[in-house]
Amino acid sequence: MAVHVKAPLAGTAVELADVPDPVFSTAMVGPGLAIDPDRAPGTVVAPVSGTLVKLKPHALVVVADAGRGVLVHLGIDTVNLDGEGFTLLANEGDAVEVGQPIVAWNPADVEARGLSPICPVVALDAAADLVKDHASGSVDIGEPLFTWN
C-alpha cells in the first residue's frame, strides 16, 4: 500500500538535487523532495502517520507501515544550533497522526544565523523509482508532497 507523504511545513517545493548539501542533493540519504520554507515562525507537522522514531530539535523521523521511515530535516547543518530556536511539541516514541504538530521553529531565524533553512523530506532507504508524484511550486502544510509506493 502506498504511503502518501504530506508536506510537513509550507513553502516552495525544491528538487533534492538543488539542496545545498551533497549528502542530500545526491540522494545519499534517500529520494524525496525539499521545501524552501516560508520565512515566518511555523509549526512542523508529521508528514505521515506512524511512530516518531527519532526526534531531534532540527530533524525528525516518522516510521509508517512496512518500516518506511520519512525524515524531515529542518535546515542544513542545523544540528550545530544545538536545538536553539526549536521547540519540541511531541516526544520521541510517540504514535503520531499525519498533520500532528511536532516542532515549532522560525526559518528566518535559521537563515539569520547563516544557515540554509531548506528542509529535505526524505524516504529513508527507499529505491528512487518507488518515490513518485513529486509536488512542485508552492506547497501548503499538509498538502501531498510525494508518494512512496
Partner 1 sequence: MPERRVTVASRVGLHARPAALFVRAAGRAGVAVTIAKIGAAPTDARSLLAVMALDVRHGDEVVLAAEGAGAGAALDELAGLLATDLDAAPSGAGDA
* SS3 category, 142: coil
Name the one range near partner 1 by CB under 8 A: 8-16, 67-75, 100-108, 130-138.
67-75
Q: Please state, in angstroms and rounded to a whole number, the distance separating the CA atoms of residues 19 and 120.
A: 8
Catalytically active residues are: 73
Candidate residues 52, 71, 96, 135; the one interacting with partner 1 per rule CB under 8 A: 71
Chain center to CA of 35: 8
Pinpoint the alpha helices (H) of 1-149: 22-25, 107-112
Candidate residues 31, 32, 37, 69; the one interacting with partner 1 per rule CB under 8 A: 69
CB of 82 to partner 1, least distance (A): 9
CB of 57 to partner 1, least distance (A): 12
Q: Is 54 in the site for partner 1 (CB under 8 A)?
A: yes
**How many alpha carbons lie under 13 Å from residue 78 in its C-beta half-sphere?**
29
Name the one range near partner 1 by CB under 8 A: 34-42, 49-57, 95-103, 107-115.
49-57
Closer of 88 and 124 to partner 1 (Cβ):
124
Pair 74, 44: CB distance under 8 Å: yes
Q: Is 30 in the site for partner 1 (CB under 8 A)?
A: yes
C-alpha grid cell, residue 140: 501548503
* SS3 category, 119: strand
Among 119, 121, 42, which Cα is nearest to 74's?
Answer: 119
Grid cell 518500516 in the structure block, residue = 67
Candidate residues 10, 79, 88, 108; the one interacting with partner 1 per rule CB under 8 A: 79
Instruction: Return residues touching partner 1 (CB under 8 A).
Output: 21, 23-24, 28-30, 53-54, 56, 59, 61, 63, 67, 69, 71, 73, 79-80, 124-125
